[in-house]
Amino acid sequence: MINLIYLAHTDPRFIRQARFSILALMEYIPEFREDYRLIVFTDQAESFLDLGAVIEPLDKARIREFRGLNDFVHRMKIRALQEVMTTYTGHAVLLDSDNLTFKDPRQLFEKLVVGDSILNQIEERLDQPESPLGKKFRRFFKKHPVIPVGSEELKIPMDAVLWNAGVVGIPEGKKFMLDQVLALCDYIYSRYQKHIAEQISFNIILGMNTQIQAGEAWIYHWFGHGQAINRIIADLFDQMEGKSVEEQIAAVAAVKEAVLQAPLNPDKLKKKWYVKWLPSS
């Protein structure tokens, strides 16, 4: 069993994004039954029940607990993965709501069966950072070369490969990695409140314990294209109102190329280190 996980709550924009992303996935996995389970952590269950989702309710108290003492939104990804791997059998794949599955991903998900993990795409290396944040984290880890993780001390590998974590796949039997990711993330974010603290933590722990497989050939994480793609989604949802799920899957499939070709947000265009990560670069 492969558990496919989404977090979708609070903001209607994220609800639409997640539903769009799930409909894109359903072109290849139209039903979530024996081999695949769709789990959505949400405060708006009615937006996902018709897609065959198992609902994990998110109320304000659960959101606060997931975000932790330092109120870090992306910490919720780690906690959702932990909850799924505690409650359900099988492998776990968490997809951010801003993801487009554009190629049959079942071959990718099978990588979990042999014990590999999944992240989205390589961005840089900790010992050769190109982005401002990469350089800042290199300096951070030089000041914190050994970090307590549970009852152990973790020596940070300064040659770690840094991946984008818009997709995170954890093989069955390796939930212990999530406990380490959470401890590392909490340590980092309590001292250095940057929005990729959870991503850096996934990079280090998964890289030390598994072979990481890239999801970018199957799934497109559009985080830098949000303005253009959100317009595509908003227009599409107006057109899809009242249509069946099968018709909605087809409608999403029809705009996938437009999503893949959507222009970057204007603030990203001037950043050479960012543009380098794009699939067309």
Answer yes or no: is pLDDT of 17 > 80. yes
**Pair type for strands 91-95 and 2-8:** parallel
Question: For residue range 122-142, what is the model confidence (pLDDT) as tens digits?
Answer: 999 999 998 899 999 999 999
- Whose tokens are 């599409």? That residue is 236
Residue among 131, 71, 120, 80 at smallest CA distance from 223:
120
pLDDT of residue 99: 96
User: What is the domain-level CATH number for residue 8?
Assistant: 3.90.550.10
Residue 30, in any domain of the structure: yes
3-state DSSP call for residue 128?
strand
Residue 39, in any domain of the structure: yes
Structural tokens at position 171 = 């093989």
CA 168 to chain centre: 5
Q: What's the structural domain count of the chain?
A: 1
Rounded Cα distance between 253 and 261, Å, is 14
Selected residue with higher pLDDT from 277 and 258: 258
Question: For residue range 256-275, what is the model confidence (pLDDT) as tens digits?
Answer: 999 999 888 777 666 666 66
Taking CA 46 as the corner, what is the angle to CA 178 and CA 198, rounded to the nearest 5 degrees? 20
Residue 169: band (very low, low, confident or very high) from pLDDT cuts 50, 70, 90: very high
Question: For residue range 56-104, what is the model confidence (pLDDT) as tens digits?
Answer: 999 999 999 999 999 999 999 999 999 999 999 999 999 999 999 999 9
DSSP 49-99: GGGTPEEEE--HHHHHHHHTTTT-TTHHHHHHHHHHHHHS-SEEEEE-SSE
- Whose tokens are 């108290």? That residue is 61
Question: For residue range 20-29, what is the model confidence (pLDDT) as tens digits?
Answer: 999 999 999 9
Residue 65, in any domain of the structure: yes
Residue 79, in any domain of the structure: yes
User: Percent helix, strand and coil across the chain, each rounded to 5?
Assistant: 45, 20, 35
Range of the domain at 86: 2-122+163-170+211-221
pLDDT of residue 277: 58
Residue 281: band (very low, low, confident or very high) from pLDDT cuts 50, 70, 90: very low
Residue 86, in any domain of the structure: yes
Residue 195, in any domain of the structure: no
Question: For residue range 220-255, what is the model confidence (pLDDT) as tens digits?
Answer: 998 767 788 999 999 999 999 999 999 999 999 999
